[in-house]
Structure 1
Amino acid sequence: MSPDLLRSLVWMDYRLAVLFAVLLPLILLIWATVKQAEAMQRLLIIYWRVSSLLAITVYLLIGDLKIGFLASFLARILIPVGLWFWVDLNEEIDDQRSSPLKFVFSAWRWALTIYSTLGAIATIPFLQCAFSDASYPTSFCQVWREAPLIYKDILHANYRLPFLGFLGIVGLVIYLIYFGHFVIVRLGRQGRSAIEQ
């Protein structure tokens, strides 16, 4: 694949991520809050917790940390799981009357599921960037850092790259502790119910 085509595809992926993973769920959360659609609100809050791994990935890539490639791949797997895992929320949402909010929410959930699944498949070749011995060997890996570095220039211009990478590591450790607690403690106690019993 030519470097220009690869760069175009990577930038398209970042743009789609901003649309499907940031802007639309934020609008939906505000809309669901205004309409007092509690099941959708709970699912969107769970979504934000799960998808925070994408934000962590950005900071890891800013810091030039290879684990960012693995975090990106895992985020693309965990997001669809988090959107469909909860039996009680799925039933509540399905039982709601048809409305513009329900239609847009369902369309977003399916679109993000398809986008994340295709994205996970498409990023499999880039996992080699996480496990290569050399520092990112080619533009094949470096192209994924371009958007995070522009983000850094816009929002964190006065901060050094290693510090922002450190923030990414701290975020990843907190994420893994929370995820481990969920899998070991909460999942066994509550199963696929989002409402604590």
Structure 2
Amino acid sequence: MGSRRVQLVIKRALDVVASLLLILLFSPLMLVIALAIWITMGRPILFRQPRIGYRGRVFTIYKFRTMTEERDESGNLLPDEQRLTPVGRFLRSLTLDELPELFNVLKGEMSLVGPRPLLVEYRDLYTPEQWRRHEMPPGMAGPVLASGRNLLDWEEKFRLDVWYVDHWSLWLDFKILLRTAWKVLKREGVSARGHATMPRFEGVGVKAHEGRRGG
């Protein structure tokens, strides 16, 4: 346990140094992206959304906006595939829309590597085992991105996240970063089959859990 605690301190120190350097390195690119979004979609430039973080704490994630706010006659947002713009599709294909998350890392709300932070509304849909994904800080890269991203179903994603929590090490983080970079360059798993992004989590794991408990 002591060794793990020391490694977590090192992990945080590496996050601070790396995120600061990456912000400086990518600042010209982020300015270009912001300009492209402003020209094609207008303001706001950034997409902000509450997410569940480390130990269940809620924080606001920052991303570049990739979709319009178009709505139907009833005032409901149109499906993702209708709101996703060409610029947004390009940003998502190279994961450039997630560059502002470096500021979340710098603030200590995220890490460079960890389970991806999910929507707050999913909070009550987890099984106790799935909730364990929050025992590590959420990350920009992670076991899911390194293993298939949105080509994986929700059950597989949760299984990988919990496996990461149980087997975490600095060396594992390094390997995940390399694998994630390779997946991004190959543009693999950007969207789920038949979806512009990823279908919502409907608590499939919860239903399966209840079925096993009751059967």
TM-score under structure 2 length normalisation: 0.27
Task: Compare the two structures and name the one with the higher helix fraction.
Answer: 1
TM-score under structure 1 length normalisation: 0.29
Specify which structure has the bigger relative contact order, considering alpha-carbon pairs within 8 angstroms and separated by 6 or more residues: 1
Task: Compare the two structures and name the one with the higher strand fraction.
Answer: 2
